[in-house]
Amino acid sequence: MMRRKIVAGNWKMNNDINQGLELVKGLAKEIDAKNYNAEVVVSPSFVNLAGVVSELKDSKIGVAAQNMNENVSGAFTGEVSGSMLTAIGIEKVIIGHSERRAIYGETDALLAAKTDAALANNLEVIFCFGELLEERKSGNHFDVVTSQIEKGLFHLEASAFDKIVLAYEPVWAIGTGETASPEQAQEMHAHIRKVVDAKYGAAVADKLPILYGGSVKPSNAKEIFSKEDVDGGLIGGAALKVEDFMGIISAFE
Any idea which residues carry the catalytic annotation?
97, 169
Helix axes 242-249, 17-31, angle to 10 degrees: 40
Sign of CA dihedral 206, 214, 124, 22: negative
Residue whose beta carbon is closest to ligand PEP: 236
The single residue among 21, 211, 216, 230 that binds ligand PEP, judged by CB under 6 A, is: 216
Q: Which stretch binds ligand PEP (CB under 6 A): 57-65, 134-142, 146-154, 230-238?
A: 230-238
- Shortest Cβ 83–ligand PEP spacing (Å): 25
- Shortest Cβ 240–ligand PEP spacing (Å): 9
The single residue among 124, 215, 220, 225 that binds ligand PEP, judged by CB under 6 A, is: 215
- Shortest Cβ 175–ligand PEP spacing (Å): 4
Q: Which stretch binds ligand PEP (CB under 6 A): 41-49, 138-146, 195-203, 208-216?
A: 208-216
| Pairwise CA distance, residues 184 & 179, whole Å | 9
With a CB cutoff of 8 Å and minimum separation 6, the contacts of 10 are 43, 66, 94, 97, 213, 234, 235, 236, 239
With a CB cutoff of 8 Å and minimum separation 6, the contacts of 189 are 168, 210, 212, 227, 229, 230
Q: Which residues bind ligand PEP (CB under 6 A)?
A: 10, 169, 174-175, 213-216, 234-238
